[in-house]
Amino acid sequence: MVIQAYIDPRRQVGRRDTMIYGHFLEHFHRQIYEGIYEPGSPLSNRLGLRKDVITALQEIEVPVVRWPGGCFVSSYHWKDGVGNNRVPVFDKAWRVEEPNTFGTDEFIMFCREIGAEPYICTNAGTGSPEEMSDWVEYCNLKDQGKWARKRIENGHEEPFNVKYWSIGNENWGAHEIGAKTSAEWSRYVAEAAKMMKRVDPYIELFAASVVDIDWNINLLKEAGQYLDWISIHGYWDKVWTNNDLASYEKSMIYTTAIEEPILKTKYILGALGYLGKIKIAYDEWNMRGWYHPYIHQNTVKATAEECAKPRDDNDINSSYTMADAVFSACFLNQCLKHSDIVGMANFSPTVNTRGAVYTHKEGIVLRPTYFVFKLYTKYMGEAIVDSWIPHNRFFDVEDQGQLTAVPTIDIVPTLDKNDKSLRVAIVNKHPDKATCLELDINGYQDPASITMHGISGISKDAYNDIETPSAIEIESRKINIPGSGKLVVEMPPHSVNVLVLDR
């Protein structure tokens, strides 16, 4: 089949913020301990940070990391995790003991090692506005106040200058420790924001939100004047209590539901007068939810050990296939298409669980989603230009007796800021059919060279593992320059690609 796509490089429709390539880490299972932080391991540096993980994250140019949660943060007291006397505590969110050996100082060092901005999410569950503002003082004041002097005492003379701060995590949900009503939340956010910005008026503040008009009416009326961002989350394959993962085909249905939450949130901001003043941070996203049975099933009695053991199933590498890669590319494409309102996104999580990187005692495995980030950070441009597909092809996917028509091709064209070369993200969602894409590029001179960089694997269910770490990796191939004819490129099935037309 041949699908025609039209691109007009003369018409710029937005500019990419690289913060959409951000990541997220939570104190859950093996993300921190045995993930990024493993003192004593021959693979770790002097700070106890895994050198192989650092190198991998540097390679995909991670711009920002959100930490320490997630649900974990709603019973986390940051003061337990700084200084020389770290006392282990019981983590009531995930029902395990938290050793507190990785805290604020270690997080900042990790961000510096990989070259990312730190983004701290604060405890709005059992915490207080004063505790949040003390945290800002610890990180950002030079030498004024008890907590800035405590940072200096802990060996950090210069302030950390943390720019991004979130008030709370998912405090709208009954599953969250310290959940609040809409009225309670809006008042709480306003008071916390006042205290935090009085410590440092230059920070950018986020508030936990949800795609709901009533929640946001109260939040924005009460606290909108203090906010720079609202935070929303998205997991489409909701496998919290079982690990029955969606097939490739069902995952493609999920790609058709990415845009709606963005548009709804944008319309809410617009209706309340905050369009252009407050941006969306999709600061937790992944196709698949994390598997953690029993925690939120209040009628089920289970020991802490019975809660923790099933989480190992999150780290089965065969779970992460081209379905995850294709979905992730479609998600990033929507962030690019809506660059006017989506300014940050944080893949959830970075390491282990459903992460892009898997760690083991001898090294790491780079999952398919890792290579999506590598494609987009390495090859995509900054200026988003206009494109349209008048007659996309669709394929039907059946789920529970219902048919969903899934568009085969998803594209986003961009221009590089330096040489104005055209870089086009092209996703072929079809599970088993290659698709020829005919590109009609308005007013664009014949390029000097054309290269296709992409991932597809030998099947839609291909994955990387310890024994087969390179089953999926980026492959690059030269494309013949068409001269005066149309540019036609063949997209392998279940593939993510970036086409680069160099000038």
Q: At what angle do helices 104-114 and 129-140 cross, to 10 degrees?
A: 50
The 10s digit of each residue's pLDDT in 189-225 is 999 999 999 999 999 999 999 999 999 999 999 999 9
Range 364-375 average pLDDT: 98
Does the pLDDT at position 341 exceed 90? yes
Q: Which helix (H) or strand (E) holds 134?
A: helix 129-140
The mean per-residue pLDDT over the stretch 130-149 comes to 98
Task: List the beta bridge partners of residue 351.
Answer: 357
12 CB neighbour count, 10 Å cutoff: 14
pLDDT of residue 246: 98
H runs (alpha helix) in 304-440:
304-308, 322-337, 368-379
In the chain, the largest separation of any two C-alpha atoms, in whole Å, equals 71
Q: Is the pLDDT of residue 1 over 80?
A: no
CA distance linking residue 352 with residue 113, whole number of Å: 19
Q: Is the pLDDT of residue 471 over 80?
A: yes
| CA dist., res. 230 & res. 278, Å (int) | 7
Helical H segments across 363-488, by residue range: 368-379
Determine the Cα–Cα distance for residues 245 and 320; give it in Å rounded to an integer: 10
In this structure, the number of other CB atoms found within 10 A of the CB of residue 353 comes to: 23
pLDDT in the model for residue 486: 81
Q: Which fold has domain 2-11+382-502?
A: Immunoglobulin-like (2.60.40)
- Which two tokens mark 450? 């054309």
**φ, ψ (nearest 5 deg) of residue 7:** -130, 135
Using DSSP, state whether 393 is helix, strand or coil. coil
Number of helices (H), then strands (E), belonging to the chain: the values are 11, 23
Query: Is the Cβ–Cβ distance between 482 and 488 less than 8 Å?
Result: yes
Which CATH superfamily is 17-379 part of?
Glycosidases (3.20.20.80)
CA distance 471 to 452: 19
All CATH 3.20.20.80 domain ranges of the chain, comma separated, are: 17-379
53-62, 307-316, 369-378, 436-445 — which is least confidently predicted?
436-445
Tokens coding 265: 């949130």
Strand, coil or helix: 441: strand
Residue 94 pLDDT class (50, 70, 90 cuts): very high
Please say whether the beta carbons of 95 and 304 come within 8 A.
yes
**Mean pLDDT along residues 223-246:** 97
- Bridge-based pairing state of the strands 487-491 and 495-502: unpaired
Residue 296 is predicted with a pLDDT of 86
Phi-psi region of 445 (alpha: psi -120 to 50; beta: other; left: phi over 0): beta
Looking at residue 484, its pLDDT comes to 66
User: What is the rounded average pLDDT for all residues in the chain?
Assistant: 96
> What's the sign of the alpha-carbon dihedral 148, 154, 160, 166?
negative
- Confidence label for 232 from pLDDT (cuts 50, 70 and 90): very high
Q: How much is the pTM? A: 0.97
From residue 483, how far is each of 2, 64, 435, 439, 452 by CA, in Å? 19, 42, 22, 13, 17
The stretch 214-242 carries a mean pLDDT of: 97
Residue 465's φ and ψ, nearest 5 degrees, are -150, 180
Residues carrying CATH 2.60.40.1180, the chain: 2-11+382-502
**Closest Cα partner for 235 from 298, 327, 322, 359?**
327
Cα–Cα nearest to 370, from 304, 295, 446, 469? 469
Residue 322 has pLDDT above 80, yes or no: yes
Which residues, in sequence order, are bridge partners of residue 44? 50
The pLDDT > 70 percentage for the chain reads 100
- pLDDT confidence tier of residue 420, bands split at 50, 70 and 90: confident
pLDDT at 129: 98
CA 77 to each of CA 138, 395, 421: distance values in angstroms, whole numbers, following the listed order: 13, 50, 49
CA-to-CA distance for 356 and 116, rounded, in angstroms? Answer: 16
pLDDT in tens, 38-79: 999 999 999 999 999 999 999 999 999 999 999 999 999 999
Per-residue pLDDT tens digits for 274-310:
999 999 999 999 999 999 999 988 778 999 999 999 9
